[in-house]
């Protein structure tokens, strides 16, 4: 179980350098993002660069994690990229805030489960700011919410999480749906969950007029509560 004690251990002491906080305004090609993440992770490991949180959007595409299955590709209408992260298939596109985290778990505590749980807590706190009540599931990673108005037992995911660890530096991260085209998910089985009661949602789908800039501000505030100070990009 995630406790206050565990959350504190994800952060660093006040004397540590702030995490670089970067926001890309233009759509970033996926392969370019992979290359940039890998290069930065190596630099962090070598002590040549600070940790980085990178907020961006991709053009419409699908990514396949290391557990992705061929049958998860129903009718993909966009390119499918091999991601190298954990998890299965997911969609990225405009209107979705993707957050890539390159953090040094050797310094923060080499506990992958705690890191993932803290990511879920981070997103749960962020969506709660906008009056969205979310839940985490023991049997799958991500942040979901109940949609009783859609029918009994309906559950929709608002944020997906997929990570990779390279020499104890994290790569990849979180995809939070703000105002993306949810019909694009129809080309795949999102996160490998195909039950009829399961789906995806976004702030816009919930009837909330939330901007990406507003989401970014809350993400940064809640990140600092859980992971430590963030500096300028």
Backbone angles phi, psi at 150, to 5 degrees: -90, -10
Side-chain-facing half-sphere of 133: CA atoms under 13 Å: 3
Radius of gyration of the chain (CA): 17
Q: Which of 174, 178, 191, 215 is catalytic?
A: 191
CA distances to 83, 161, 191, 211 from 21, in Å: 22, 19, 27, 19
Paired with 155 in beta bridges are 146, 198
- Nearest alpha carbon to residue 156 among 182, 129, 174: 182
* Known catalytic residue at 148: no
| Residue 111 contacts residue 168 (beta carbons within 8 Å) | no
| Residue 96 contacts residue 28 (beta carbons within 8 Å) | no
- Cβ neighbours, 10 Å, residue 218: 16
- Cβ neighbours, 10 Å, residue 114: 18
- Cβ neighbours, 10 Å, residue 222: 19
Q: Using CA atoms, how far apart are residues 155 and 217, in angstroms rounded to an integer?
A: 27
Give the residue numbers marked as catalytic.
Answer: 191
């Amino acid at each position: 179980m995630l406790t206050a004690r565990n959350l504190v251990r994800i952060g660093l002491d006040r004397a540590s350098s702030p995490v670089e906080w970067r926001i890309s305004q233009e759509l970033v090609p996926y392969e370019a993002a992979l290359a940039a993440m890998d290069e930065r992770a190596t630099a962090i490991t070598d002590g040549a660069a600070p940790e980085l949180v990178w907020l961006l959007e991709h053009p419409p595409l699908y990514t396949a994690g290391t557990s992705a299955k061929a049958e998860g590709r129903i009718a993909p209408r966009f390119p499918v990229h091999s991601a190298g992260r954990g998890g299965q298939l997911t969609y990225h596109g405009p209107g979705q805030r993707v957050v890539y985290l390159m953090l040094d778990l050797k310094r923060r505590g080499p506990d992958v489960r705690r890191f993932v749980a803290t990511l879920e807590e981070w997103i749960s706190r962020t969506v709660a700011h906008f009056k969205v009540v979310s839940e985490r599931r023991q049997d799958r990673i991500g942040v979901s919410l109940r949609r009783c108005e859609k029918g009994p037992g309906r559950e929709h995911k608002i944020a997906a999480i997929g990570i990779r660890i390279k020499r104890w530096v994290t790569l990849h991260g979180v995809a939070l749906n703000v105002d993306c085209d949810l019909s694009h998910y129809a080309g795949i089985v999102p996160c490998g969950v195909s039950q009829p009661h399961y789906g995806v949602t976004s702030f816009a789908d919930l009837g909330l007029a939330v901007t990406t800039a507003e989401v970014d501000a809350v993400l940064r505030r809640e990140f600092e509560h859980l992971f430590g100070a963030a500096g300028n990009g």
